[in-house]
Structures are given as C-alpha cells and as structure tokens.
Amino acid sequence: MRKFSLVKFSVEHPKLIVILSVIVTLAFMTQFPKMRTDTNPKNMLPKTSEVRVWNDQVEKTFSLYEDMIALGIVNEKGILNPDTLGKIKRITDEILKIKGVAARDVSSFTTIDNVTVDNATLRVAPLMTDVPQDQKGLESLRKMLYENPLFINRIISKDGKTAAIYIPLEKGANGKEIADKIREIIRREKGDEKYYIAGDPVARDTFGAEMFKLMAVFAPIAGIIMLFVRYLMFRDLFLSITLMMDAMISIVWSMGLLIGLGFPIHIMSSMAPVFLMAIATDSMHIFNEFYFRYRETRDKKKAIIETMQAVSRPVRYTALATAAGFAVLLFMNIVPVKVFGGLVAFGTISLRILSFSFIPAMFMFVKEDKIAKIAGAEDISMGKSSQFLIRLAGFGANHPKNTVIVGLVLFVIALVGLSRITVNNNLVEWFKKSSDVRIADSVMNKALGGTSLGYVVAIAKDDDYIKTPEAMRYIEGLQRRLEKLPVVGKTTSVVDYVKRINRVLHDDDPKYDAVPENKEMIGQYLFLFSMSAKPSDLDNVVDYPFRRANIWVQLKTWDAQAMKSVIEAADEYKKTNPTPMDLKPSGIAYFNLVWNHEVLWDMVKGFVLALIVVFGILAFDFRSIKWAVVGYTPLLFTILLIYGVVGFTGKDFDMPISVLSTLSLGMAVDFAIHFVSRLRQRRKEAPGESLSDALLWTAARPGKGIMRNAILFAASFAVMMFAPLTPYITVGAFIVSMMLLSAIMTLIYLPALVTLMQGWLFSNGESK
C-alpha cells in the first residue's frame, strides 16, 4: 500500500486544496460576530481563587465598589474661589446623572459629609451645599476643609491648588466610556482650571480599547511591510501574497476556535495574532529552498516535492518545538495563560498543516517563467547575500576559540543583568509618559493621597472589640506606620471619624483630637454618627458587629510592589505590637500584587518547563544528546542576552515580557533546528566534503532562509516600536532583537561550536 503524501496530493490537486482552505477559513470566520473582550485583571484569576473570594467578601462586608475614578481639578491660583467652586458643583451635578456611576456614593465638595456641632448636637451634612460668594463664606469653607484630616489630601491638596471628585462605578460599568462622558462635561467649562481623569478602570478600559484599535491598525501595517519585504526578496507579488495568506488563515482559524469555544479575548490572547505572524515566517525556508531546487531541476513539480523532502524534517520539528513551548502553558493554573498557550499551539500546528498543503498547492499556480527568473538569482557562488553569509559563518568556523570565548563573556555579563530583573507590573506605565492617562495619574499622585487603593482589614476575635480604645489606638498606630512609607499618600479608618467627632464635641479643641478613653464613649460617638451620616460613611470602614475595621490605604504608584511594602510594614508592626487582631490585605492594589505574582510566575514556570521540553524535542529530532546541546546553545544565549539587557536597562519583568518569553524560546530554537538539520543532511549527501565547506554551504543556502526570515519579521514588527502603548513598543523591540540576535548566534556561533567540538560531535562514526 502506497504511503499517503500530503505534499504530493496538494501538488496534484491544488484547486481542491485552495477551495478546502477557503471553506474551513469561512467556517471559522462565522464565529467572529460572537467575539467578547475582557480586560479586567480580576478575571485573570479563577473565581474560586483565594484572593478573589477574599476581595469579594471585603467589598460586600464594607459596601465597597470594585472600581473608582478620580477626577482632579487643578487651579494654580487656588481652588477656593467662587468660580472654581461653581465649576466643581456643576461638574458633580452632571456626573451624578451619568449611567453606570454609583451616584449615592460620589465624593465631592457638594456630596461628602462633614462632621460639625450645632447647638451641642452632632451634625453630619454635606461640606458645601451652596457655593460661597463672599470672603467670609470662603474662609468658613477653608476652615472646615483644613481642620478635618479626612479631607486633606483626599478631596483637597495641602497647597489648596488641587481638588478631587471620587466617582465609584456600578458593577459592569465601562471605565473608559464613563471617563469619556466626564471629558464631555469638563469640556464645556472654560477658565484657568485643568482637569485630570485617573484610576484603575480608566487605565484598564482605555488600554483595552486602545489595544484592539492598535491590533486593527498595526497588524495590517505589519502585513503590508511583510508583503513589501517579501516582494523585494522574491520579486513575485502572487507568491508574496501566498506567504501572507498562510499567516492570515492560521490567525482566522485560531481566533475563530477561541471565540467558538466561548472564551473572551483577554490582554494575553489579543497578542496571539502577532505571535502567529512571527511563527508563520518559518515558511520562508520552504520558499528559499524551492528556488534553489528549481534552479537545479528546472521542473516546478519536482522542485516542490524535493523542497518539501529537504525541509520537511526541520519544518516539522521547529513547529513541534514552538507548539510544545506554548502548549506547556496548558498545564499552568491561570485560565487566560492556558487559553493563550493552547491558542498559539493550535495556530502553530495549523501553520504547519498549511505549509505542507496550501503553500505547495499555491506554487502550482505560478507560471514557470516567473519562477525561472527568481531562481536565477539564487546562486551560492555568485549571490551577494550568500557570499556575505559565507563570510559570516567563515568567521565563526575559522576563529572558533575566539568566537566561543566572546560568547562566554557575554553569557556571564547576561547572567549579571539577569540577576537585576525585577518582577513587577504597572498598568499605568503601559501608557507613554505623554499620554493623558499617565499624566493624570502622575498629577493626582503628586498632589493628593494617591490613585491606587488598597485595604488592610483588622479582624478581631470578638464582637465590639473594634470599639475599644486599645483597638482604636492600635489601628491609629498602624496608620502612622504605613504613612511613613514613600509609596503611601494617605490612610483612612474608623479611628479618623471617632477622633473627629471627639474633637468637635469638645468645642473643636485640638487636645481632643485623640481616641476617647473608654469603649462606651466610642460606641456612643459611632451611634450618633451613624444616625446622621450616609450609611456608606461608616460601612466603608467598620462592620456592624464591630469585629472588623477597614483601613483605606491610598498609594502613589500602581507598582505591584507598592502593596507588598504595605503588607511587609503591617506584618512588622504586628510583630512589634502584639494584639488579639489579625491583619489581612485586600483591595485592587492587593489583587494586582497577587495577580502579578501568580500570572507572571506561572509564565516563568511554563517557560522553564518549555525549555526542558524543547531540549527533549531537539534530542529526539537529532537522535543525539550532543547535537541537542549544540542546537540548544543559540536558544539559551539569545534568551539570556535579551533578558540580561532587560535587567541592565531596569525594565520590569512584566506581563508583555513574560508573554514574549515563550515566543523567544520558539523562534530562537527554529533557526538552530534548520541549521543543524540541513548541515547533517548535507554531510550525508556530500560525504567527501570537508566540514568547513559543509558549514559554509549550510550558511549560504539554508542560512539564506534564516537571514530572510529574520529580516522579514524584524522589518515588519519594527513598526510596533512607534505604538502609543509601551507593551507594543516592548513587543516590537523584543521581536526585532530576538530575530536578529538568534540569526547571528546561529550563523556565527554554531559554526564555531561545531568546528571546536567536531571530535566529540562526530565520535559516533558520523563523518568529519
């Protein structure tokens, strides 16, 4: 029974293959209208994860909102004037009408409660019901603001130049859409004031919107550049489009499968098309070899079959190594990480199926005269690019010791850089410094308490313990300890309300700005306050069995490590000040810390596992541990050198970098597989040829495919370095560096290693 060959079938039935490819692609495209996006980092972790369950519990216990927008109003001449205060009132009134805003809990000059005394009775009322028009009214407002610690650095800055409106969002509201509506409101106001909109939902949802917009812009631009570069290489528009279609079809199949299975598109999975376009360039080796073969045979069909026979093994194993590198992510804990890994692994397999079917079929539609014209330029002895590659490989082969020593020196330097890498994530820094989101965050953090919010929950064993002076003083001491941290701008707790009530009930005497001496008085104060204030005022900071107290911690940075320093300070405080209360972190800042740790370290674990799996694939492909070690070297060096540079530049190991680690593994090993496979194949085909000549042949012929692959993709994705979002700049710079560096390592370092280690490599009887 004759063995079925997909390549031969495709060459003999090219129209059928193309029609089937189109039908399957259209079938996957039918899923696109069902596409859903999800940029909420909370959904990066499963609903059953400890941090999500605890955060949800804290939000429910203290009536907290998941998302909060902060609107900053800056007037360098001062906020406290009738004109600016009038604008704050009008803007607040309009914000309260926006759908998705939790209007009852908006904090502004006109909505926030102020605690005062009226005829010996505690009075809780909005700070500013009407805009003061005279100096006396303004001075009264100033006095109320600056004598109440609850207001300073929250709704007004110490210098009086910045005010804030805090806008909680209803569950499911889109931060960017609400921010855009707020921008429409403030656009109607004229004057000296400047407005800044900040907060996690603004950054997150703006990034999500920009992310998909950029994918729609940069993917076609990258594709056009790819098409242009391919045309320059092969001078055939039809074949250039064919290679482009290979990538596009696999992207449609992969994204169609993702959507069809009901998964939303997360930040990670949105990058899959970029990765698949990178992986698709491996088909360049088929095109490269085909023209050499056609020059030798002058028979299109024979050249296609011989080409696929020559490159099929390295193409298969590069696909297997890349797919395995991503597939190991399926064994991680985080669902979006699993989805991303499976998505790219499926796309990689799809690309290889297309490489052995769609591409050979498309070759059959190209006229012989066009192929002959292109093939005429594919000459190892005369071609300028081939001669350049021969000199490049010759340097490594002729100076193996020096080349290897230089590589080892770079290896050691890279290890030093690697040791300096910091694992951290900061969503706001995913925007350029000139972006509105980042400017707003910087201005607000500088003037006020901070836009990032975390909580520290004090948990007692018994009901009513929070009412005791001991518990109150303990919480107050913790607040003062946390406020010493550079990253903390302000803390707020039930203690601040109790101290405020104690002071105003004693004729505003500063001496009584302290915790009362007995539990009964504290309980009475809290009861009086709860009778007059909005429920959320007290609900946000204490529960009603008075067993738990919530300390609000405003942070001046979205760095995940900021909350880590808060937790460490709280733990240290607890050790030095024993108490029958437990302290547990919570809030979006804490979630970001856990998400940062779990997701990024999941990617690191997956990357390490992938390194092991890829080495196993190399050993299986080459049927030799020795050759696997040699083929593994460019991969290891490329990864270490790139990440060493990351460490030296001070760039955080964040989500984009962690995602790119799997791509760097797949792409860096591809070139080595092609080089080693074709070198060993050449040694069998030309047994009398010297090792040096075989190395130079490999560099000039398969190496041309390596060079073309690297240049093609580096040129295409260099355009991403001009994106407004830093993750895309990172992706562009990373891919350009990775492609060029891995190509150089393969074409210079591999010949040096093979030459230097030939006695060991060929000791099994393989000819030298």
DSSP string, 11-25: HH-HHHHHHHHHHHH
Q: Would you say 93 and 130 are in contact if contact means Cβ atoms under 8 Å apart?
A: no
Rounded CA separation 54/56 (Å): 5
Position 440 pLDDT exceeds 50: yes
Helix, strand or coil for residue 321? Answer: helix
Position 767 pLDDT exceeds 60: no
Q: Which two tokens stand for residue 358?
A: 């769609």
Q: Would you say 238 and 374 are in contact if contact means Cβ atoms under 8 Å apart?
A: no
For the segment(s) 1-45+235-378, the CATH number from 3.40.190.10, 1.20.1640.10, 3.30.1360.200, 3.40.50.300 is 1.20.1640.10
Rounded CA separation 373/369 (Å): 6
Give the domain ranges of the chain: 1-45+235-378, 65-204, 383-493+541-768
Percent of the chain with pLDDT over 90: 33
Q: What is the mean pLDDT of residues 199-209?
A: 83
Check whether domain 383-493+541-768 has CATH 3.40.630.10, yes or no: no
User: In this predicted model, what pLDDT tens digit does every residue of 573-589 receive, in sequence order?
Assistant: 999 998 889 999 999 88
Q: What is the mean pLDDT of residues 66-89?
A: 93
Alpha helix segments (H runs only) across 332-367: 335-355, 358-363
**pLDDT, position 1:** 44
Position 108 pLDDT exceeds 90: yes
Highest mean pLDDT, choosing among 188-192, 298-302, 382-386: 188-192
Q: How many residues does the chain have?
A: 768
Average pLDDT, the chain: 86
Helix, strand or coil for residue 547? Answer: coil
Nearest Cα residue to 256 out of 282, 279, 276, 239: 276
**Which contiguous run of DSSP H or E holds residue 228?**
helix 200-234
Alpha helix segments (H runs only) across 580-624: 588-622
Rounded CA separation 716/229 (Å): 8
Q: Which two tokens stand for residue 439?
A: 């400017």
Rounded CA separation 121/395 (Å): 90
**Which contiguous run of DSSP H or E holds residue 74?**
strand 68-74
Q: Would you say 85 and 109 are in contact if contact means Cβ atoms under 8 Å apart?
A: yes
Strands of the sheet containing 162-168, edge to edge, are 162-168, 68-74, 194-198
Q: Which two tokens stand for residue 558?
A: 């979205």
Indicate yes or no: pTM above 0.85: no
**256: exposed, middle or buried (Cβ count in 10 Å: 0-12, 13-18, 19+):** buried
How distant is the alpha carbon of residue 484 from its chain centre?
31
Position 377 pLDDT exceeds 70: no
Domain 1-45+235-378 matches domain 383-493+541-768 at the CATH topology level: yes
User: In this predicted model, what pLDDT tens digit does every residue of 37-53 receive, in sequence order?
Assistant: 777 777 777 778 888 89
**pLDDT, position 537:** 81
Cβ-count burial 752-765 (b if 16+ within 10 Å, e if not): bbbbbbbeebeeee
Neighbour count for residue 40 (Cβ, 10 Å): 19
Position 765 pLDDT exceeds 60: no
Rounded CA separation 396/361 (Å): 39
Q: Would you say 146 and 139 are in contact if contact means Cβ atoms under 8 Å apart?
A: no
DSSP letters, 257-303, are HHHHTT--B-TTGGGHHHHHHHHHGGGHHHHHHHHHHHHHH--HHHH
Q: Which residues make beta-bridge pairs with 496?
A: none
Rounded CA separation 228/57 (Å): 55
User: In this predicted model, what pLDDT tens digit does every residue of 708-735 receive, in sequence order?
Assistant: 888 887 877 787 788 888 877 887 888 7
Position 604 pLDDT exceeds 90: no
**pLDDT, position 350:** 93
Q: Tell me the chain's radius of gyration from C-alpha atoms.
A: 32
The Cα-based distances of 203 to 238, 333, 598 in angstroms read 43, 26, 21
User: In this predicted model, what pLDDT tens digit does every residue of 112-127 receive, in sequence order?
Assistant: 988 888 777 788 888 8
Q: Look up the CATH number of domain 65-204.
A: 3.30.70.1320
> What's phi and psi for 657, nearest 5 deg?
-65, -40
How distant is the alpha carbon of residue 308 from its chain centre?
38
702-717 vs 726-744: helix crossing angle, rounded to 10: 160
Cβ-count burial 228-239 (b if 16+ within 10 Å, e if not): ebbeebbebeeb
Helix, strand or coil for residue 551? Answer: strand
**pLDDT, position 376:** 62
Q: How confident is the model at residue 535 (pLDDT cuts 50, 70, 90)?
A: confident
- How many distinct helices (H) and strands (E) make up the chain? 30, 9
